[in-house]
Amino acid sequence: MAHKKQHLPSKTCPVCGLPFSWRKKWERHWDEVRYCSEKCRKNKNNLHD
Could you give the CA distance from residue 12 to residue 48 in angstroms, rounded to a whole number?
11
At 49, the pLDDT band (50, 70, 90 cuts) reads low
pLDDT at 29 over 70: yes
How much of the chain, in percent, has pLDDT values that exceed 70?
A: 86
Q: What is the pLDDT of residue 39?
A: 94
What is the length of the chain? 49
